[in-house]
């Protein structure tokens, strides 16, 4: 459950870490159904183009996908262990192979960095801070590691050596300084589905989820935590429409 003490609205006197100079709110939308990955990418790219041309507002789009493996621009063919298990989609986002599927919250982030900061490194750090802030609302300590994009949690079991598992992936692309793709947070996916790939090209660490950590968190609760943390990092949000119904 959300910790009420950690999910309070941000102080309006404190400027968001990666906020807009004009304070304009970002539209926040939830897809009403599971969206096929290619369909979502087409809608996301169209929205990003409209933002770049000044025809649409910034948007965070929350959704789930049917099971699929996606390959970023750095994906290595050998990291696709079981190509017959699920569909495979070659994506233009950064990063390597990852899995999307039911129980995982995908958040596509279409922000205009021209109105924020034209700094890709700072933007990725802001995305990491966003996820870490959301996890903190469930008393989960998310961490970042040099050379490993994403958010990690340390696991300590009596009698066993400590280990680190990935709980959230980050992969973004920018076109005309407008971002698309975004983050995926493991709430309650089938973790066995990650076995068909080497997630993000990293063999020495595993993957986990909020439910795997013993927390009976729903997607609705995860969404509330993400929205509260987003406001602290990127600024206010307002209800928007899903690009696909």
The end-to-end CA distance of the chain, in Å, is 29
Among 170, 182, 186, 180, smallest CA distance to 219 is for 186
DSSP state of 92: S
Provide mean pLDDT across the span 11-33.
90
pLDDT in tens, 96-105: 899 999 999 9
pLDDT of residue 2: 58
Task: Read off the pTM.
Answer: 0.92
Is pLDDT at 1 greater than 60 in this prediction?
A: no
Tens digits of per-residue pLDDT, 31-47?
Answer: 999 999 999 999 999 99
| Whether residue 230 has pLDDT greater than 90 | yes
* 3-state secondary structure (DSSP) of residue 211: coil
Where do runs of H (alpha helix) occur along the chain? 37-52, 120-136, 219-234
> Is residue 151 within 8 Å of 132, Cβ to Cβ?
yes
Q: Please give the full DSSP string across 176-200, using - where no structure is assigned.
A: TTEEEEEEEEESS--GGGGGGB-GG
Q: What is the pLDDT of residues 169-215, one digit of tens each?
A: 999 999 999 999 999 999 999 999 999 999 877 777 899 999 999 99
3-state secondary structure at position 33: coil
- Asked whether residue 112 carries a pLDDT value surpassing 80, the answer given is yes
Q: Which residues are catalytic?
A: 200
pLDDT of 88 strictly over 70: yes
């Amino acid at each position: 459950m959300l910790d009420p003490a950690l999910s309070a609205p941000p102080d309006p006197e404190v400027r968001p870490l990666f906020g807009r100079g004009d304070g304009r709110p970002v539209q926040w939308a939830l897809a009403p159904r599971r969206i096929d990955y290619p369909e979502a990418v087409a809608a996301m790219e169209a929205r990003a183009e409209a933002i770049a041309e000044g025809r649409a507002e910034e948007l965070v789009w929350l959704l789930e996908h049917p099971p699929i493996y996606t390959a970023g621009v750095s994906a290595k063919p050998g990291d696709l262990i079981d190509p017959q298990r699920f569909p495979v989609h070659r994506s233009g986002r950064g990063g390597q192979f990852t899995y999307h599927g039911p129980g995982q919250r995908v958040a596509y982030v279409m922000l205009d960095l021209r109105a924020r900061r034209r700094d890709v490194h700072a933007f990725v750090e802001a995305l990491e801070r966003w996820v870490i802030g959301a996890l903190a609302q469930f008393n989960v300590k998310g961490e970042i590691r040099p050379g490993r994009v994403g958010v990690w949690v340390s696991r300590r079991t009596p009698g066993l050596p400590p280990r680190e598992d990935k709980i959230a992936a980050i992969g973004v692309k920018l076109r005309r300084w407008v971002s698309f793709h975004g983050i995926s947070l493991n709430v309650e996916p089938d973790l066995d589905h990650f076995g068909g790939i080497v997630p993000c090209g990293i063999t020495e660490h595993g993957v986990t989820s909020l439910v795997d950590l013993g927390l009976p968190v729903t997607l609705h609760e995860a969404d509330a935590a993400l929205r509260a943390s987003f406001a602290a990092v990127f600024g206010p949000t307002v209800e928007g429409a899903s690009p696909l119904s």
